[in-house]
Chains A and B, each alone.
Chain A
Amino acid sequence: MMQRFIGCENTFSKPSRSFLWAAILLTVSLLAGCSALNEQPALTQSPAPKAQAIATTAPTATTAAIEGAEVVDWLQVAGKEGDLYVLGNPNAPIRLVDYSDFL
């Protein structure tokens, strides 16, 4: 009777252990998954500041070209348009002609 009981206990204990191991494995993998998800933003964020740091210390050719375009001082650009002297951007949308005398 005792043996049968034990046998019965054993019969029932094997699936329980398997279930327990499966539950442990599932929990571990879930925790690992969660921690991986938590780590993901850190991974995507960390390279960005590095890229910014590189951009500020060593500008690319494109960045340099854009910066160069932004810093044009058109007051230092002069030429001629027909017979008249012109100051500023030769392709400026507005053409202002001043008819004047020095005196």
Chain B
Amino acid sequence: MIRDEPSIRTNYVANGSVRLLFHPVLDHGRSLELHTIAECAGEQDPLAFWKVHDLLFERQNEAWAATNEVVLSWLDDLKLDQAKLQSCTSDGAVSEKLVGIDRERVNAGIRLRPTFQVNERTIEGGIPYEQFAKVFEGLLPK
């Protein structure tokens, strides 16, 4: 997650200037399972994907060691269909799709994490919010 993502959301996404896309990166052993849970939540409600996204970043330290059952229990408040969620996460199709998406990233030469794309421009590594804001302002109509 971008360190300053909350500021970007508040100042640029909320007013319709920026749309934010999340491209999964499978860098760790548990990554695929966690991305699969988020993807499956998104299949029920795209907004739920972003809620799971935020929750997994918030509980990053716990997510390392948490089992899928524990992680799924964190999503109770989202009022998702738990049976569908369990079935989706255990279905290999979603994981396979995520592996394919990650392969596309590698093939595109995007290896550093985090990496951002702002329209056609690629930014490697974390940059402060002010720098994002400067890039955005340069792209927005005057």
Q: Specify which chain A residues have a CB less than 8 angstroms from the CB of B56 in the assembled complex.
A: 102
Interface residues on B, range: 35 or more
Chain A residues closer than 8 Å to B12, beta-carbon distance: 94
The answer to whether B34 touches A100 (Cβ under 8 A) is no
Contact (Cβ within 8 A) B19 A92: yes
Hey, which chain B residues are within 8 Å of A96, CB to CB?
8, 18-21, 116-118
Alpha-carbon separation in the docked complex, A2 to B101 (Å): 127
Q: In the bound complex, how far is the Cα of B50 from the Cα of A45, in angstroms?
A: 52
- A55-103 contacts to B (CB < 8 Å): 72-81, 83-103
Which B residues lie within 8 Å of A79 (CB)?
Answer: 46
Contact of B97 among A76, A77, A83 (CB under 8 A): A83
Q: Is B23 an interface residue (CB 8 A)?
A: yes
Is there an interface contact between B2 and A98, defined as CB atoms closer than 8 Å? yes
Binding-face segment, B24-32, B73-81, B85-93: B24-32
Q: Which of B98-120 contact A (CB under 8 A)?
A: 101, 105, 110, 113-119
CB A17 to nearest CB in B, in angstroms, measures: 75
List B residues 23-75 near A (Cβ within 8 Å): 23-28, 30-31, 34-35, 38, 42, 45-47, 49-50, 53, 56-57, 60, 63-64
Task: Work out how many contacts link A and B, with CB atoms closer than 8 A.
Answer: 146
Interchain CB contact (< 8 A) of B9 among A75, A83, A85, A97: A75
Smallest CB gap from B29: residue in A: A103
Question: How many angstroms from the CA of A97 to the CA of B21 in the assembled complex?
Answer: 5
Q: Mark B3-21, 1 if CB is under 8 A from A, else 0.
A: 0010011001111111111
**A78 — which chain B residues lie within 8 A by C-beta?**
45-47, 49-50
With both chains docked as a complex, state the minimum distance between the C-beta of B80 and any C-beta of chain A, in angstroms.
14
Q: Which residues of A pack against B, CB within 8 Å?
A: 72-81, 83-103
Residues on B facing A (Cβ under 8 Å): 1-2, 5, 8-9, 12-28, 30-31, 34-35, 38, 42, 45-47, 49-50, 53, 56-57, 60, 63-64, 97, 101, 105, 110, 113-119, 136, 139-141
Known: A87-B19, A88-B19. 7 other contacts (CB 8 A): A84-B23, A91-B16, A99-B105, A99-B117, A102-B35, A103-B28, A103-B30
